[in-house]
Structure 1
Amino acid sequence: MKGLGWREVLDALARHVREDSPPVGVGERAYPRLGPALFTPGYGILCAVQTADLPEIRRLAKVECLQEILPGARPPSDTFSILRQAGLAGGTQFLGQGGSLLLYRQTAQIRRMADAMGWRILANPPETRLPWENKASFRGRLLDMGLPALQFEILELESLGGDECSRLMDRWGGPIVLQIPCFPQGGGRSSFVVREPAEIIDLRAEWGRGNHRGHRFSQVMASPWLSGISASMEGCVTPWGVLVSPLQLQLVDIPEVLPPNGFGRFCGHQWGAGIPGAGWVQEMATSITIKVGNAMAAEGYRGVFGLDFLVENGGRAIWALECNPRYTGAFPTLTLLQWAHGLAPLEAFHVMSWLRDDPVELPPELLEATSRPVGPAAQILLFNRDPWDTQVSQELPSGLYEWVQAEGKGRRKGPALPFPAAGLCKTEDFLILDGPPLPGHRLKPGRELERVARIIFFRDVVDPSSGGIAMDVRQVIQWVYRSLGLEKVDP
């Protein structure tokens, strides 16, 4: 069969979807599930939180929002609760018998509900996903594949104390990182750095008998703390092989958008500069991602996954740290950037890997294009920074903004969607999406890392001289927080 161009491939996918029921993306907010709307006719989104960007998202996808259907009710945050509340509210217009769910991740609870409702789940089952998601299991699998893996030890929680921390610090010559290997949420919610043995006392008190954010555990994984740069790469297991994204600089622990304390907390990406030794590092990350993806494929995995890397010693060493066998925080911004650059989005191959059982022939250059650069660009996620419940008191529209330095504020130029084509935006332009919540919305305390909004820039945001966020970018962030009028409310 003659190879197809990417527009023809998406047309073929569209014809296939029209012959079947279009999938429905489910999530707390609409924006993270937006990507397939670019290339999947009839695609719908079921979300929980009503945000200012819904009118713009509805230009591209059908959206049902629980906060609109049930005003005044506290919106659920996880997929199972969203589906359950939608059912209690009388169901949705999207999901009838035989519908398809495009999910962040599949769980046993969701599978039981889907079986009862006759839904098809377009996400890997837990038995396929969990061995890769477990941080300790993943490190062991790297070693089995002959790939570089950071040293680690598995420790029983009951035996973890100051003496054990001292032993590990002596072994590795410095601070250690403790992680809960089986914790189901990403974003740095289960990573802790211990610089002095005495610090473990407070951490053990917080964990009690092994409970972190409602998740029970009995073991922790210890690794040496290394100085370096956080990076990531998206992979996608498809019938055409393992495809990869460009290497991304991960933005972590940005104090301007996070509550105090914590370690390794994800705040966004930068596509472009910022990774030392980028050519060699890109090649190594690509090689590791493809090898991991092939091993995942051998176990029945399909679709997108992400690998987190540490780039050490000015680009002279790279370590794969974690595998995220699911959608990651790069989506859908990566999808929108690839679309804007005229590239076949990696997410399109994810959808095709689930919807097409008869894959068309694709030319190698089309498949390789998913790894082409899409920068300079960046996204920064803003979270509730306060230690208490906070309420939004002022409306800030989503949209395309221009930063006016003389006035110290952003000026809205128009809608954020459709996403601007590559090269049309200036360095002072930015988008506000993934929110913001509307006035009256109540944000959970900062420790819960509830997102306020996502700012997308068409430039590098990291100051290469300091390694921190550039001053004018910090000004944009501060202005967004001020514009929302966040106020403390009683629990």
Structure 2
Amino acid sequence: MPAHKSAEPVANAPTTTMATDAAFAPAAPRAGGRRPLRNMSEVRHFFRTNDVPIYFIGATPFNLLGLDRWVRNFTYITYYDAWDGAHPRVFTPAHKPYVRFESGEHINNWLLENAEVRALISGRVTPGVRPKVAMVFFDAETERICEELGYDLILPSADLRERLDSKIVTTQLGEEVGVPSVPNTVVAVDDFAGLVEAAEDAGLGGDLVVQLAYGDSGKTTFFIASADDWDKHGSEIAGKTVKVMKRINNRPVAVEAVLTSCGTVVGPFMSELTGHPELTPYRGGWCGNEMYPEVLTGDLRARAADLVRRLGNRLDEEGYRGFFEVDVLVDVDTDEVYLGELNPRISGASSITNVTAGAYADVPLFLFHLLEYLDIDLELDIDDINRRWQELAAVDLWSQMIIKETAPAVERIETAAPTGAYGLDASGALTHRRSALDWHQLQSESEAFFLRIYGPGDYRWKGADLGVLVTKGRLQTGRPGSAATLTIRARHLIESIRGHYTGTPVASPVKGDTVDVDTRPGIVT
């Protein structure tokens, strides 16, 4: 398949999909002393005429796909190109030699230092204007590279994010401002007896959830109710300071927010898809989201929104600015609302947040983040924005599924589901209808958009992210949480996408023409 992924329009670009809206708008004349932006009309105009190059860098463009509709001069620089060169705003280096990537940060740093990427960015530089760079995963090395190259990394510092990323620090900050977590104790234990003793002292009972301070919750959260459970996971827990929680019957809810100079903008609430074996091999692992009016209503919604705003106020004291995501846990038995986790970054839920009714009435949530890093003064009524987004949440109905490989074998992919718009034909079969740039044009539950991540020539293994499917409508039955099951439609969608994949088994991880598949990082979360 074609190796070069152009950032400019190409001949084989999708012709049946609406072109990006802001990408080719004229720039506004540069002028000093710009007055503060006071309303959404002014904010929209500012971004449609933006003349500052902004780049989202990552393994894929998934998290912010579609933002180029709103922001002029917005480009995705990615390692994987799901469109094989046909997306006018996606750039992928043509020459990609073997690299054993160990993390999402490693991928992004490689892209920043890549000669083709540097040439692309330098070719668009305007005197006196520094390119702006955003990404999900970054570290101190990322900051060093950007400083050397003259780019502005428009994110909170790596040191601050590292501190806030700790589940233990999040718990402590929440407690300082009256944001409760599930009853817990923070302790270091060496064996099962020590865990039981610590839990008894804290009144947590014998059915426990143990979390490491850092890491993907699907891989670093352990459910322990017996010595046998400890024997399975004890080696990963012993000697470390961990958060030990009472296990509750909870309903996980995700919400994204942006801390601005005017206050915290709280996005729509979403239920989470977690641990579904059809989607992920990881028990408790995140594998998607649903947005629908009944996720949280009435008093529960008000309490959850207040929790997020109070946490945002506390993050302000830490010097944080911009985008963050909060996992809220609702106790199904008591209706208590608890702080779950803080993700101080762009998240996997951003894809849905950017197509909400609130986003179309105002602007996508991430644009408030950009305003914080583009040296723009704001005089916005954040309370009014939050009220409007809460009212408009009653008309939103979106879902997404992260489809991982669940089989234990390693295979070289021969065929894969193409990126684009899908629909149900007269027989009920899901078919690929056309190429598409993103999921913004979906109209009904009979349609879906699939973003391919790994394609022909790549490898799939247990836990590999095959792609993301976005659709209208719900994908779970029952109350989200431990009792939730996937709908018949959801299972049909998953089986249909998986049906496109064929592969040739390999006896061991392959090196030389691909990344070591045993160490490939997750690239969506």
TM range (shorter): 0.7 to 0.9
Normalized per residue, the structure richer in helix is: 1
Check conservation: 2:353, 2:359, Cα contact below 8 A: no
Identity, % of aligned pairs? 18
The letter for the 2-side match of 1:426 is: S
Check conservation: 2:401, 2:468, Cα contact below 8 A: yes
Residue 109 of structure 1 deviates from its aligned partner by 1.4
The letter for the 2-side match of 1:110 is: T
Question: 287, 298, 307: which is aligned to 1:267?
Answer: 287
Question: 382, 387, 391: which is aligned to 2:412?
Answer: 391
* Residue aligning to 1:214: none
Report the 3-state secondary structure (helix = DSSP H, G, I; strand = E; otherwise coil) of the residue aligned with 2:81.
coil
Check conservation: 2:156, 2:320, Cα contact below 8 A: yes
Could you tell me which runs of 5 or more consecutive residues in structure 2 were left unpaired when the two chains were aligned: 1-34, 510-525
* Residue aligning to 1:78: 104
Report the 3-state secondary structure (helix = DSSP H, G, I; strand = E; otherwise coil) of the residue aligned with 1:149.
coil
Residue 380 of structure 1 deviates from its aligned partner by 0.7
Once the two structures are superposed, the pairs formed by residues 158-307 of structure 1 within 5 Å of their partners are 159-168=189-198, 170=200, 171-181=203-213, 183=214, 185-205=215-235, 207=236, 218-259=240-281, 262-272=282-292, 275=295, 278-307=297-326
Residue 9 of structure 1 deviates from its aligned partner by 1.1
Once the two structures are superposed, the pairs formed by residues 8-157 of structure 1 within 5 Å of their partners are 8-15=42-49, 17-18=50-51, 21-52=52-83, 55=86, 58-59=87-88, 61=89, 63-66=90-93, 68-70=94-96, 78-84=104-110, 87-89=113-115, 91-96=117-122, 98-156=130-188
The letter for the 1-side match of 2:459 is: R
Check conservation: 2:263, 2:382, Cα contact below 8 A: no
Residue 148 of structure 1 deviates from its aligned partner by 1.9
The letter for the 2-side match of 1:188 is: G
Residue 77 of structure 1 deviates from its aligned partner by 5.1
Return closer, same or farther for 1:458/1:91 CA change in 2, 3 Å cut-off. closer
Matched residues in 2 for 1:37 and 1:387: separation?
38
Check conservation: 1:53, 1:397, Cα contact below 8 A: no
* Residue aligning to 1:426: 444
Return closer, same or farther for 1:36/1:111 CA change in 2, 3 Å cut-off. same
* Residue aligning to 2:431: 411
Which string of whole-angstrom CA distances, capped at 9 and with x for unpartnered residues, describes residues 94-143 of structure 1? 43384221121442111122222222110111332233221111111211
Check conservation: 2:78, 2:92, Cα contact below 8 A: yes
Report the 3-state secondary structure (helix = DSSP H, G, I; strand = E; otherwise coil) of the residue aligned with 2:324.
strand
The letter for the 1-side match of 2:427 is: A
Check conservation: 1:162, 1:198, Cα contact below 8 A: no
- Count of residues in correspondence between the two structures: 461
Matched residues in 2 for 1:268 and 1:37: separation?
23
The letter for the 1-side match of 2:250 is: G
Check conservation: 1:392, 1:484, Cα contact below 8 A: yes
Residue 307 of structure 1 deviates from its aligned partner by 0.9
- TM-score when normalising by structure 1: 0.85
The letter for the 2-side match of 1:126 is: A
Return closer, same or farther for 1:106/1:396 CA change in 2, 3 Å cut-off. closer
Matched residues in 1 for 2:440 and 2:151: separation?
35
Which string of whole-angstrom CA distances, capped at 9 and with x for unpartnered residues, describes residues 120-172 of structure 1? 1101113322332211111112111122222222232xx42121233356542
Check conservation: 1:343, 1:369, Cα contact below 8 A: no
Check conservation: 1:166, 1:197, Cα contact below 8 A: no
Could you tell me which runs of 5 or more consecutive residues in structure 1 were left unpaired when the two chains were aligned: 211-217
